[in-house]
Structure 1
Amino acid sequence: MSDILTFIIVPALYLALLLLYLVFVPVIAALRGAALVSELLWRYCRLLGGVLRLRTPEFVTIPPYRPADERAHRNYFFGPATRDLRQLLTLGRRLYVRTVTDAYRRVTADQFTAPSTHRSASVPYGLTLYLGLGVGAAAAAPVLGLLLGLHALGVALLTLGARLTALTLRAADRAVMILRGLPRGMLCPSCFERVPYPAYDCPRTTCRRRHADIRPGTFGLFRRRCACDERIPTLLMLMSRDARLSGHCVHEHCGKPMNPDAGHMPELILPLIGGRAAGKTQLMAAMVKALENTAENGGPAIRLADPESTANQRVLNEVLEIQGHTRPTQKTLPRAHSFVRGSGRAERLVHVFDTAGERFVNREETDALRYIREARTFVFVLDPMAVGAFWTRLDPAGPKVDRTLASTVDPEDVFSRSVQTVRTMGTRLDKARLAVAVSKRDLMTGQSALLPDRPDHSDTTRDWLCERLGLRNLLKTMDLEFGEVRFFCTAAVADEEGRVDPSIGVFVDWCLRE
């Protein structure tokens, strides 16, 4: 009887129970599979938070971008987003394999290796769990793949949007620059090269890192975040009037500071051409002083554009007020004497270049004056005392004229060499204007024979230069080379109250006319 019980009845009951258990196998397997899917999703969410937010070492598989090496923090969609996606792919794959493997190991240990119940019960249950884990692993793979795919799609779309935004902002900035008459960039007042976009130092005094190109792109769309966490506007049009940054020239041989107003308004370049001691520096000082006088009387506002111009003008104003004479300009390349005239949309950044007269005689020296290529109005300072006919017409009985104040260079020689150089630089002189400033009118006071009959009239001054000083050939050359020529008889002096001679005001207005 015991054999019957052992070998027939018990196995039959066991098989019957197994058959009954088979009814519940799909449910148990489905529940175990769902539990595995839920566990994988929960772990993936933790992984997502760790990679995107916590960024602790266990969530890092790719070295991060270092702001200290790149001088600024990258915009998230210009590298870091792709890096995070790659880390998610790597860590997600590891997470999937580790979670599924650990689940199988737990089932093996609990149901096969060291079961807590009889093996007749643990083995079928373990096999059911195996089945559930297989189903769960198979179901979780496409779900996780879908989540990663959606993440990748979001990164791709947002990266595309960020790049299109950067391109749009750059295009808008480019359009503004073209409308301001700066299609090739701003003029560096030191090396005279065009700068497409200046380099800017971090405004934080404890940092001062120099950023070569702050335009929208890799390191920010609207604001660039320096490695010190200071935020810098990425476009000139995003810089407020009171918070304009002072840029630096990007050319390797220069790197000097530029005007804070560079790029924010149209530029006007005004070269002064003339021989040594022709009166260029004093005329330049009188021009700015005349504009200051006009502003005081309700005319367009004027302000010096940089500390160097401010300091130089302060000294030159003192020379004008004592009716002294400036020292000859140094032969080194000049820095532009820059000022801003007007207000609002009428603002103009004016660069006046006062170059040593020696550079206009030597062709090799003149070639360094690259700013001439950008000029559309030229000023030729003509010292009548440098012409031999001037001294032959001098009245011995009249007031004495100090011959030591005369320029030592023939005006025709200076003009011909300068024109040749400007032409070889590619400037269309037939589209340019020329203002001929006859200087040192104040020294001829009392010598009526030395002055035009109507010093304030262009044609009269022209006739005087032709007929009395014998400069007919020079004036013909001017007419042939330039599209428009105007003559001014100027006195670069100021009275005790700092009021500049009226001849300068008329001259400046014509030069700055657009």
Structure 2
Amino acid sequence: MAAILIFVLVPLFYLAGLAAYLVVAPVVLALRALALVMELLWGYLQLMIGVLFRRTAEFRTMAPYRPQDEQVPAHRNYFYGPGSRDLRQLVTLARRSYARTVGDSFRAVTTGQFTAPPRSRAFTVPYGLTLYPALALGAVLVVPLLLVLPALHALVLGLLCAGARLIATTLRAADRALLWLKRLRTGMICPHCYEKVRYPAYDCPRTTCRRRHTDIRPGRYGIWRRRCACGQRMPTLLMLMGRQSRLQAYCTHAHCGKPMNTDAGHMPEVVVPLIGGRAAGKTQLMAAMLLALENSAANGGPALRLADDDSAGGYQVLREVLRMRGHTLGTQKALPRAHSFTLGAGRTERLVHLFDTAGERFVDRDETDALRYARAARTFVFVLDPMAVEEFWTRLEPAPDSLLDRTLASTVHPEEVFGRSVQAVAAMGAPVRQSRLAVAISKTDLLAEHGLCPDPSGDSGAARAWILDKLGLYSLVQAMELDFQEVRYFCTAAVADESAQVDPSISRFVEWCLRR
């Protein structure tokens, strides 16, 4: 009887239990499906954190990005490639994680409920039969979410990439507009090769790196800051470089690559070429101009600051020569480096380049390529040595005496120098007819010692009349006034006294040459 009860009641209880389980089975199915959905979403979140922030090896499906793999030694901006790369890695890892998680869940059910259950299969098999559709349901329900999340990621990334490109384009346009306002629309002049540089190259400011970056403007390698391959950050705009944080600029032309002035691009540039024959007095006149500006700055005039060490070193030598009333050595025939200085402050600040070229280059047709810098000039200085004109020795009254050292005269006639140099400058595209010309009659201090000096009052008409009447340079004066929009004549004495004060004629001359 007991056995009959066992064989009857146990199946009845079992069937009753199954019936009760069938009532709650939908809840179990829903909960397990939800658990799988949450597990897959949590896994996606973990992958996103790993790909975007941790960046360890297990979150990579591609070779790691290295800036040294590119020609530009800088890290790419995130929104110019690395962002889409991360999205591709995330999608790949999410697909693998989905397949692995769903597969592991089905295998765990098969093992735990069917092949190796921890208890009787009578209890585990029904539960397992519930879990299979639950896992299938969860795997299906999570697919739209796993598609929507990368799609939202791609949408946000696309908007950010578009915004980054818009900001970069706007910043580049603003930087370009500032260069236009500074009258640098065609670029900055290199003081070594005289070519225009649209945008200089800059070295990494870290002393242990010094990688050179050819274009640091906002774009692929940085919006506000560029990050060098060494990790050092650099400003991407000239307007972000304060006076103390300005980087050393370099010429971008392949045949040059030399350092430019640190102030290049930060202020308008003025180019003043000094034209004249050998020993006409160009170098001394240039030194006197700098000394006059220095004296003016000391007396409350526009501030003067030499732009580089070469200019400062050369000026100190010339300053001492002027103070001792000595004669400078002739300019070397090699291509000269500009003597550069900044003049003024604030909105009136300018970077001025004075070019002193060897006189031989003005008369040798094969050497006039040295005048390339003249293309950027709007004011020219022609140094006229009256002692180089034969009429000076024959027509002046009183006649020059034997005490006037004729070996100090230039060896080339002014008309020959002017004709060839202006022809070369015009052939290079310089707007000569829209430019000004300052004619500096040099060595008037020597002439004054012998009573031969023209009117020292600074009157341009008197100086012009002296050139015509005493030197007979009618054709030269006519050519100058035909070729240039405005011509002004000056009598200059490039000398300084013991207290480093220059002749007043130099101050008037400099004021006109650097007039805005």
TM-score higher than 0.5: yes
Contact 1:398–1:446 (Cα < 8 Å) also in 2:
no
Partner amino acid, structure 1, of 2:75: H
The equivalent of 2:428 in structure 1 is: 425
Q: Distance in 2 between matches of 1:89 and 1:138?
A: 17
Query: In 2 relative to 1, CA 391–10 (structure 1 residues): closer, same or farther, beyond 3 Å?
Result: same
Q: Deviations over 1:249-276 (max 9, x none)?
A: 1111101011111111100000011111
The equivalent of 2:39 in structure 1 is: 39
Q: Deviations over 1:80-116 (max 9, x none)?
A: 2221111101101101110001001101111221223
Q: Distance in 2 between matches of 1:21 and 1:242?
A: 79
Q: How does 1:340-359 map to 2 (within 5 A)?
A: 340-359=342-361
Q: Distance in 2 between matches of 1:288 and 1:61?
A: 64
Q: CA RMSD in A?
A: 2.2
CA shift, 1:217, in A, is 1.7
Q: How does 1:283-362 map to 2 (within 5 A)?
A: 283-362=285-364
Q: Distance in 2 between matches of 1:242 and 1:54?
A: 36
1:400 aligns with 2:403: yes
Q: Deviations over 1:139-173 (max 9, x none)?
A: 11111222222222221111111111111111111
The equivalent of 2:156 in structure 1 is: 154
Q: Distance in 1 between matches of 2:431 and 2:180?
A: 20
Q: Distance in 2 between matches of 1:324 and 1:230?
A: 50
Q: Distance in 1 between matches of 2:97 and 2:232?
A: 38
Per the alignment, in what secondary structure is the counterpart of residue 164 of structure 1? helix
CA shift, 1:376, in A, is 0.6
* Higher mean C-alpha displacement, 55-64 vs 312-321: 55-64
Partner amino acid, structure 2, of 1:303: R
Q: Distance in 1 between matches of 2:170 and 2:238?
A: 15
Q: How does 1:428-443 map to 2 (within 5 A)?
A: 428-443=431-446
Partner amino acid, structure 1, of 2:412: V
Contact 2:372–2:425 (Cα < 8 Å) also in 1:
no
Q: Distance in 2 between matches of 1:396 and 1:146?
A: 100
Partner amino acid, structure 2, of 1:376: R
The equivalent of 1:504 in structure 2 is: 506
* Higher mean C-alpha displacement, 74-83 vs 263-272: 74-83
Q: How does 1:201-216 map to 2 (within 5 A)?
A: 201-216=203-218
Q: Distance in 1 between matches of 2:387 and 2:78?
A: 68
Partner amino acid, structure 2, of 1:328: G
Q: Deviations over 1:169-193 (max 9, x none)?
A: 1111111110000002211111111
Partner amino acid, structure 2, of 1:357: G
Partner amino acid, structure 2, of 1:417: R
CA shift, 1:405, in A, is 0.6
Q: Distance in 1 between matches of 2:212 and 2:392?
A: 55
Per the alignment, in what secondary structure is the counterpart of residue 393 of structure 2? helix
Q: How does 1:19-418 map to 2 (within 5 A)?
A: 19-69=19-69, 70-393=72-395, 395=398, 398=401, 400-418=403-421
Q: Distance in 1 between matches of 2:478 and 2:249?
A: 43
Contact 2:454–2:466 (Cα < 8 Å) also in 1:
yes
CA shift, 1:2, in A, is 12
- TM-score, structure 1 length as denominator? 0.95
Per the alignment, in what secondary structure is the counterpart of residue 270 of structure 1? strand
Contact 1:455–1:488 (Cα < 8 Å) also in 2:
no
1:461 aligns with 2:482: no
Per the alignment, in what secondary structure is the counterpart of residue 414 of structure 1? helix
Q: How does 1:468-507 map to 2 (within 5 A)?
A: 468-507=470-509
Q: Distance in 1 between matches of 2:243 and 2:431?
A: 35
Partner amino acid, structure 2, of 1:23: V
* Higher mean C-alpha displacement, 389-398 vs 92-101: 389-398
Q: Distance in 2 between matches of 1:51 and 1:276?
A: 70
Partner amino acid, structure 1, of 2:417: V
Q: How does 1:1-16 map to 2 (within 5 A)?
A: none
Q: Distance in 1 between matches of 2:449 and 2:23?
A: 128
Query: In 2 relative to 1, CA 397–232 (structure 1 residues): closer, same or farther, beyond 3 Å?
Result: closer
* Higher mean C-alpha displacement, 90-99 vs 51-60: 51-60
* Higher mean C-alpha displacement, 72-81 vs 493-502: 72-81
Contact 2:204–2:228 (Cα < 8 Å) also in 1:
yes
Contact 1:455–1:461 (Cα < 8 Å) also in 2:
no
Q: Distance in 2 between matches of 1:475 and 1:101?
A: 97
Partner amino acid, structure 1, of 2:341: F
Contact 1:259–1:305 (Cα < 8 Å) also in 2:
yes
Gaps of 5+ in 2: none
Partner amino acid, structure 1, of 2:171: L
CA shift, 1:218, in A, is 2.1
Query: In 2 relative to 1, CA 350–205 (structure 1 residues): closer, same or farther, beyond 3 Å?
Result: same
Q: Distance in 2 between matches of 1:292 and 1:503?
A: 15
